[in-house]
């Protein structure tokens, strides 16, 4: 770890990889990560910020396509290990899976009372027109911001990108082109950086969970999650094909511990016998099914149409307006607690970190 500036609010900049710190290979033209010191050279203005910045670089810098539960626990571990020493944390991360990482950290960093801001860019920071510099500077300033009592302005996991600060578990990457790469379709931005930073009333309005006292990192995550995206004509029965032999044989999906069901519109699913059989198998094997909509905006409303009443009858959990990214991360987090089917379903169906509407 390296210290770069003098005293003031202390922010730890954690570098995991992603386009923001990539450089083009002159031979192949492909982008690959470069060392963190080069990033600081590319943004000399970091020294002029009224913030004491320290840096932590992961030894292996990755494209975020390689990020997963182990990486999330590693990032969480760095934050946990430096939690007392810093006022805030900025995580530099690729944009491709940033919504998953931000969602995962929002759950695993229990009872978080300090800012954790993820950012990245669409163009490497060394490129003249890069969006990386503004994203980085905004993120550090927001992670260092204090209220009138000197307390951190932000006390949750956020993503700062394209002049907006978003709740981390509400976003989805929607553009591979625009500098506004993320949408938060069901929840307003927490801050907007223009000439002034405008903060939203929604900031830090997350209800703390009973029993969560003191900051703690949950490192365990249940990897065996399956996303079942419905589409017209999808071969539902293939999902139930048996794997294994003899007494060991189980339906393919029974190898998983939870299923995120991406349904249509306001949570609708086919009414054919194959789908009912699918629901029966999930129920028999006590595999929680969490229903989120394929629509970017809006919410699951089970029971609104006849096409979703069957889901209710089989105890499918209403994921309301959660993104798929948040649903996957929440399932991995909740199922790793080993609480059993009923209690897991109960937790999946209620807001834990402001990731879904309250009803």
Residues forming the site for ligand ASP (CB under 6 A) = 17-19, 63-65, 94-96, 120, 122
Residue with Cβ nearer ligand ASP (17 or 71)? 17
Residue with Cβ nearer ligand ASP (19 or 138)? 19
- Bridge pairing between strands 258-263 and 225-229: parallel
Residue with Cβ nearer ligand ASP (99 or 331)? 99
Residue 300: both structure tokens together: 């699951």
Q: Is 34 exposed, middle or buried (0-12, 13-18, 19+ CB in 10 A)?
A: middle
Q: In the structure, how many helices (H) and strands (E) does the chain have? A: 9, 21
Residue with Cβ nearer ligand ASP (32 or 309)? 32
Closest approach of ligand ASP to the CB of residue 56, in Å: 18
Closest approach of ligand ASP to the CB of residue 238, in Å: 31
Closest approach of ligand ASP to the CB of residue 95, in Å: 3
How far CA 359 is from CA of 186, 281, 299, 356, in Å, comes to 13, 29, 10, 9
- Residues near 158 by beta carbon (within 8 Å), at least 6 away in sequence: 102, 115, 116, 117, 118, 142, 165, 166, 167, 168, 190
Catalytic residues: 19
Question: Quick check: helix, strand or coil at residue 321?
Answer: coil
Closest approach of ligand ASP to the CB of residue 222, in Å: 24
What distance in Å separates the CA atoms of residue 264 and residue 229, rounded to the nearest whole number? 9
């Amino acid at each position: 770890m390296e210290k770069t500036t003098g005293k003031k609010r202390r922010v730890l900049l954690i570098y995991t990889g992603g386009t923001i710190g990539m450089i083009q290979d002159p031979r192949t033209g492909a982008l690959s990560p470069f060392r963190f010191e080069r990033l600081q050279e590319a943004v000399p203005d970091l020294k002029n910020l009224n913030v004491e910045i320290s840096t932590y670089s992961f030894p292996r810098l990755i494209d975020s396509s390689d990020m997963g539960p182990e990486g999330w626990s590693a990032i969480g571990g760095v934050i946990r290990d430096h939690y007392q020493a810093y006022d805030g944390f900025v995580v530099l991360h690729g944009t491709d899976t940033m919504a998953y990482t931000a969602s995962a950290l929002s759950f695993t960093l229990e009872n978080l009372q300090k800012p954790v801001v993820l950012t990245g860019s669409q163009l490497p920071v060394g490129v003249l027109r890069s969006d990386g510099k503004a994203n980085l500077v905004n993120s550090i300033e927001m992670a260092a911001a204090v209220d009138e009592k000197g307390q951190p302005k932000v006390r949750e996991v956020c993503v700062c990108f394209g002049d907006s600060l978003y709740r981390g578990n509400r976003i989805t990457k929607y553009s591979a082109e625009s500098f506004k790469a993320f949408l938060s379709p069901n929840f307003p931005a927490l801050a907007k950086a223009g000439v002034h930073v405008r903060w939203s009333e929604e900031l830090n309005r997350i209800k703390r969970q009973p029993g969560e006292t003191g900051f703690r990192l949950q490192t365990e995550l249940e990897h065996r999650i399956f996303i079942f995206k419905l589409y017209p004509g999808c071969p539902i029965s293939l999902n139930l094909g048996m794997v294994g032999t003899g007494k060991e044989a189980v339906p393919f999906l029974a190898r998983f511990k939870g299923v995120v069901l991406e349904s249509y519109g306001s949570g609708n699913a086919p009414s054919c016998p194959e789908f009912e059989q699918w629901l029966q198998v999930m129920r028999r094997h006590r595999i929680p099914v969490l229903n989120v909509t394929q629509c970017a905006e809006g919410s699951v409303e089970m029971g609104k149409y006849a096409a979703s009443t069957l889901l209710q009858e089989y105890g499918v959990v209403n994921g309301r307006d959660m993104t798929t990214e948040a649903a996957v991360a929440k399932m991995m987090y909740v199922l790793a607690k080993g609480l059993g089917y009923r209690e897991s379903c109960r937790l999946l169906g209620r807001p834990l970190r402001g990731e879904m509407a309250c009803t």
